Structure 1
Amino acid sequence: MKSRIKAFVKQNKAIYSLYFYLGSFFLRLIGLFIKTDPQLILFISYGGQKYDDSPRVVYEYLLKHPISFEHKYIWAFIEPDKFPQVHNRVKVDTMAYYITAMRAGVWITNSSASRGLNFRKKQTRNYLFQHGMAGIKRIGTDVELFDKAFRIGFHETFDAVFIEGKKELDILPRAWQMDPSVFYTTGLPRNDDLTTVTENEIASIKDRLGIPKSKKVIMYAPTFREFSCAEDGRNALGIPIDFSKWEATLGQEYVLLVTAHYEVAKLLDELPKNDFVINAFKYPELNDLIKVSDILISDYSSIVFDYSIMERPVFCYGYDYDTYLVERGVYTDLEKLFSHGVLRTEDEVLKEIQEIDYDLECEYTRIYIKNEYIASYGNAAEKAVQIIFEKE
């Protein structure tokens, strides 16, 4: 019920206007009586859905390498009880959350801590880690989405935005209407551990996912379509794969790992329950899936760039490419970005996998994706922490 209400508010401009103006006024009024604690640091990832991504890596880096023993850390979650490994937690969208956010001297997030409201105090510094590198699909003011509710009266600002891409400085200041000086090309902390993967680690991940050690892994990881929704208005994803055909064609050598963008609220298709298809839609560690996968099949998702750090083959399955160009748009000619262009049918995808020259595809990924698009990676957490706390 709560998710349906949220979806309704997001899609109804009048309702969101009421939510925004009254909510912001109320919180700002309360904020007059709340003192900011510069030592309190609030972490939130994917709007409180996960304990994951760059905010987690920065948090764990600070636990091992504390800048100050006076710092206090607190995480915000939609369901705090699911994350007992985190000592201090607060539930998102409660009064306790908003009071904590107003008390915190620092926000560290990969999306937003504001919850669509304008209440951040002047003393609070706001740091954003990109959760997906810009470079494929159009974003921000470069695209006109059907849902314009969150553009009402509020343009969130950040003290620093941490990015990893060579081309992002040509895109993000314009698309997000931000001063170029707030962007720092440090790399993304979440990708630091992609540079130190071992065979033992891969074997351990396979054990956790129930994948036989003898099988190679294909990951299918499509992005969300904001023009594709379920009946309740939330983003949904149909998977254009005949799983029986894929198993018959590839099942002797591979398993298929299926996941999706965090914005996808539900999969419209029931995934088969068998040894060939691994449902990783709710798996908490995306990097585990990247590390264990021998091949990535995606579409317009920025996971392509993260995965390129591994220098492994990437294929673009763009079954709705023409529609996507109209509805969303892209920055890059995908026919040139990927070694085999945009594959429109699953038969094309299966043929490329069957005939793959693995070493050649790895080299293509290294030269034409990783080297062309990734500016920095490997020690991003250390670099970001230095920047954040130099500003104190």
Structure 2
Amino acid sequence: MRPRVSRPYRRHLHHGGEEEPRRQQGHDARVRCVRSRPVRTVGGLRRAVRKVGFAVLRHTPRLRLAVRHAYWRVQRRRYERLRAGIDVDSHLVFFESFGGRSVSCSPKALYQAMLRDERYDDYRFVWSAKTDVFGKTAALFRDAPRTNVVQRGSEEYFRTLAAAGTIIINTRLPEYVWPSEAQTFVQCWHGTPLKRLGYDVRIETTNALNTTAELASRFGLDARKWTYLISPSAYTSEHLCDAFGLPQERRAAVVIEEGYPRNDVLTTADAAKVRLLRTSLGIPEGHKALLYAPTWRDDSYRPGVGYTFDYLLDFDRMCEMLGDKWVVLFRPHYYVANQFDFSKYEGFVIDVSKTGDINDLYLAADALLTDYSSVMFDYANTGKPMMLFTPDRDRYADRIRGFYMDFDSIPAPNCETTDEVIDELFGLGAYEKRYGEQYRRFVQTYCPHDDGHASERVLHRIFG
């Protein structure tokens, strides 16, 4: 099946702005949603001009670097002027997940833990949301106590960043936003690294508007801002610190190696919750669900389109062989710009790309199929079978990213064709015998602290 390509996914420059925020009164006040008008900056030029400008910058690295650094300098001066008139509120916490695309991951887990704990009853919370999901996000918090939502890139967004005593996010801060000495910046990140990141990438490639060196320098810039980095294991601590260039002498004070808060729910959810999730996703009674969650490829960027994904399973064959017993929950990486049309597979392929929290899919699925995504490390907390579909494994290892670990140590069959995937699904009864011991070693290495209480321990380290 050839996927239709959607409107482009573009990585815009961040906007900055100035506007005095209005404080929410009372601990029990309901959510107030602030959808401020973005500031007109370089990132707000007309679409056609921007398209031409990006095309020029994509092919002129020196000019691109000069323009980018000049932009950051201007925006940082604006942000510093804005921040000068704002007092830091130690009881205000700012949350953002995947650049405001969703309410999920470790920021969500820490937020929920704070709401449950009476020790944080005098704290207020603000979530960031991108423009295209602002209404949906605001609806999520309509009845949430002491919680506001701000539009990412708006004037209120930057004022909230300047005022928050604690900033908790799982991707990088805008390059020109630097926390003050009175602020705590918690970098949760968003997964155990399988593929190389930042300074550890040895293969030269052009990633949209970044060379390998340019992207690494942006990782290093973020690390200089950290107060804390959350980690689930010694393996993750070492490789994230190396990838971001965190100096050795800072690591003991910065790294909180207490487990991933986002994985707490995977060890605490009960059968009733799982049944409810399966029903809400449309999984028929008596069927099993395969979560297919592939990642993106650095070398699949198309100007004017975005990152595309071309390593799909043969769903015709899958449906023919498995349609009476299985459904497929398809979850591509959020970078992927393709618009996949699964209408001919209605009732067999369920597009869950818009499901906000992937943990819901982990709990609902009976097995996982992925490639080079870190979802395998989180999914391992469920104890359920995993499989790999990697028809481009050699290319990925040698020409795109490379791996931190021995790929064959993953407790999962490595499939290169759809028929191999089908055979493995039919043979899941032997999975424990084939991979059980290897699976347990995998969990002990990569998720040793994921026991359902990581959020509590992390909050204790952050707030005391």
Q: Secondary structure at the match of 2:387?
A: strand
Report the Cα offset of residue 208 of structure 1.
0.5
Distance in 1 of aligned mates of 2:322 and 2:259: 35
Equivalent position of 2:244 in the other structure: 176
Aligned partners of 1:118 and 1:154 also within 8 Å = no
User: Which moves more between the two structures, 245-254 or 228-237?
Assistant: 228-237
After superposition, the Cα gap between the structure-2 partners of 1:316 and 1:5, relative to the gap in structure 1 and judged at 3 Å, is closer
Report the Cα offset of residue 317 of structure 1.
0.9
| Number of equivalenced pairs | 386
Distance in 1 of aligned mates of 2:378 and 2:255: 19
| CA displacement, residues 121-163 of structure 1 (integer Å, 9 cap, x when unaligned) | 22111001131112x1111200155224453693442111111
Distance in 1 of aligned mates of 2:163 and 2:379: 37
Equivalent position of 2:200 in the other structure: 142
The letter of the residue matching 2:443 is K
Report the Cα offset of residue 173 of structure 1.
1.9
Whether 1:50 aligns to 2:124 is: no
Equivalent position of 1:305 in the other structure: 377
Distance in 2 of aligned mates of 1:238 and 1:191: 30
Distance in 2 of aligned mates of 1:361 and 1:194: 24
| CA displacement, residues 267-324 of structure 1 (integer Å, 9 cap, x when unaligned) | 3543344111010111112111001111111111111011111111111111111111
Report the Cα offset of residue 335 of structure 1.
2.4
Aligned equivalent of 2:231, options 163, 172, 182: 163
Distance in 2 of aligned mates of 1:2 and 1:298: 24
Distance in 2 of aligned mates of 1:78 and 1:63: 23
Whether 1:37 aligns to 2:89 is: yes
Equivalent position of 2:286 in the other structure: 214
Q: What 5-or-longer segments of structure 2 have no aligned partner? A: 1-6, 14-50, 59-63, 142-146
Equivalent position of 1:194 in the other structure: 266
Q: Percent identity?
A: 26
TM-score (norm 2): 0.78
| CA displacement, residues 72-99 of structure 1 (integer Å, 9 cap, x when unaligned) | 2111111332122324111111121111
Q: What 5-or-longer segments of structure 1 have no aligned partner? A: none
Distance in 1 of aligned mates of 2:244 and 2:79: 25
Aligned partners of 2:290 and 2:367 also within 8 Å = yes
Whether 1:387 aligns to 2:461 is: yes
After superposition, the Cα gap between the structure-2 partners of 1:234 and 1:117, relative to the gap in structure 1 and judged at 3 Å, is farther
Equivalent position of 2:144 in the other structure: none
Aligned partners of 1:166 and 1:375 also within 8 Å = no
Report the Cα offset of residue 233 of structure 1.
5.1
Report the Cα offset of residue 6 of structure 1.
1.2
| CA displacement, residues 193-232 of structure 1 (integer Å, 9 cap, x when unaligned) | 1112333222211110111120011111111212212442
TM-score (norm 1): 0.91
Report the Cα offset of residue 364 of structure 1.
4.5
Aligned partners of 1:238 and 1:267 also within 8 Å = no
After superposition, the Cα gap between the structure-2 partners of 1:119 and 1:3, relative to the gap in structure 1 and judged at 3 Å, is farther
Q: Secondary structure at the match of 1:388?
A: helix
After superposition, the Cα gap between the structure-2 partners of 1:241 and 1:77, relative to the gap in structure 1 and judged at 3 Å, is same
Equivalent position of 1:100 in the other structure: 160
Equivalent position of 1:91 in the other structure: 151
Report the Cα offset of residue 37 of structure 1.
1.6
Q: 4+ residue runs of structure 1 moved beyond 4 angstroms?
A: 7-12
Report the Cα offset of residue 237 of structure 1.
2.0
User: Which moves more between the two structures, 180-189 or 214-223?
Assistant: 180-189
After superposition, the Cα gap between the structure-2 partners of 1:274 and 1:323, relative to the gap in structure 1 and judged at 3 Å, is same
Matches within 5 A, 1:111-130: 111-112=171-172, 114-130=173-189
User: Which moves more between the two structures, 218-227 or 30-39?
Assistant: 30-39
Equivalent position of 1:63 in the other structure: 115
- Cα RMSD (Å) of the superposition? 2.3
Aligned partners of 1:49 and 1:77 also within 8 Å = yes
Equivalent position of 1:363 in the other structure: 436
Q: Secondary structure at the match of 2:186?
A: strand
